[in-house]
A = this chain, B = another copy of it.
Amino acid sequence: MVTIKDVAKASGVSPSTVSRVIADNPRISADTKKKVRKVMKKLGYHTNINARNLVVKSTKAIGVIMPSSTNKALQNPFFPEILRGIGSVIHKMQYSMSLSTGETEDEIFEEVKRMVYGSYVDGVILLYSRVDDSVTNFLYEQDFPFVIVGKPHEYVNEITHVDNDNFRAGKEITEYLVAKGHQKIAFIGGASDLFVTMDRQAGYESALTEAGIGNCEEYKIHTEFLESGGRGAVESLFALNSPPTGIVVSDDLISLGVLSMLEDSGYHIPEDISLVSFNNVYLSEITRPPLTTVDVQIYKLGAQSAKALIEKTLNKNEPAKRIIIPHRIVYRDSVSER
């Protein structure tokens, strides 16, 4: 391995000068810089990141924590897309990204502890937000730089997070259904302890109320369609005396499942029943029919969270902020006039 000393010797300067050249220190003459750089190139010098990290006490690495993956929720294209967004700014800033590998909550927690105690990373991005999460609490107590994609359970004003206005999004998409003449509108959400689900559902409820349409509990179900249970829940929805004519589904992937089983049961979308959804991942374009869905700009969600985190690691007392990524409805073919 070529070290700074080798370069120093070969170019007839001191190691510190070489170090300064690397840092492009303005107090080094252009001449020496050029000379040293040439030698670096010739010798094939590359700075050893561990040595530098050790002294500057920063790794320029960000830890990204995925939710526990005991079910198939991770197969949601949401994740590669948000990783791409995070990656874009991480890359631009010359940082690197360390991904969590634990499958259970405990494993993940252990891993996060290693990350922060072992100085693996300068900061952490949490790709989920749950009630009473040990990782969140730990990071908060340690006062370690982190941001949440989504909404924190506690300390909302002290934890910087980037989120959509899921309440508004849920409300707007429901209002759209109402405007199309629907009165009986159901809600199908994923895990009910996720804030996304709760917020979108609250928006849905608010829209119904404001429209003067009562909202009944039988119209709200939660399923991830990952276990076979979901099927029954949806069937019972249509066994009701007065079945819905429209459905708000909280996630595109769930929509695909709902779509399939509805058509299987003889309903046609959108003729018989209309369906709207969230996220606008690629597959929502290629379902049959293509989905009217709210584009939450996953990529930006990722990019902004990385940006906010890096700012925070650079300046420890950067105030906590909430960053709302705007959404917009993408109109496709899963809704019909009533």
A residues sitting closer than 8 Å to B (CB atoms) are: 46-51, 53-54, 59, 61, 64, 69, 72, 74-77, 79-81, 83-84, 86-88, 90-91, 96-103, 107, 111, 114-115, 117-120, 225-226, 253, 256-257, 259-260, 263-264, 281-283, 286-288, 290
Contact = CB atoms under 8 A, between A and B. Distances in A.
B103 A84 contact: yes
Kindly name the residue among A59, A81, A84 whose own CB sees the greatest number of chain B CB atoms within 10 A: A84
B118 A75 contact: no
A101 B88 contact: yes
Given A50-B59, A59-B50, A77-B77, A99 B97 contact: yes
A270 to B, nearest CB: 14
19 contacts: A49-B118, A50-B54, A50-B59, A50-B119, A64-B99, A74-B81, A76-B77, A80-B80, A87-B99, A91-B101, A91-B107, A96-B98, A96-B114, A96-B115, A97-B101, A98-B99, A99-B99, A256-B283, A259-B288
Number of copies: 2
Contacts of A117: 46
Nearest to A286: B257
Contacts of A253: 283
A303 to B, nearest CB: 11
B101 A90 contact: yes
Contact of A103 (B72, B91, B111): B91
Contacts of A286: 225, 256-257, 260
Given A48-B118, A288-B288, 17 more contacts: A49-B119, A50-B59, A64-B99, A75-B77, A75-B281, A77-B77, A80-B80, A83-B99, A86-B101, A87-B102, A88-B103, A91-B102, A96-B98, A97-B98, A98-B98, A256-B283, A256-B286
B118 A47 contact: yes
A102 B84 CA distance: 9
Contacts of A107: 91
A257 to B, nearest CB: 4
Kindly name the residue among A72, A101, A287 whose own CB sees the greatest number of chain B CB atoms within 10 A: A101
Contacts of A90: 101
B75 A96 contact: no
Given A53-B50, A97-B101, A74 B84 contact: yes
A334 B82 CA distance: 32
Kindly name the residue among A50, A256, A290 whose own CB sees the greatest number of chain B CB atoms within 10 A: A50
Contact of A111 (B51, B64, B91): B91
Contacts of A256: 283, 286-287
B120 A96 contact: yes
Nearest to A100: B87
Contact of A80 (B74, B86, B88, B260): B74
Contacts of A86: 101
Contacts of A77: 75-77
A64 to B, nearest CB: 8
A87 B75 contact: no
Given A50-B119, A119-B50, A75 B283 contact: yes
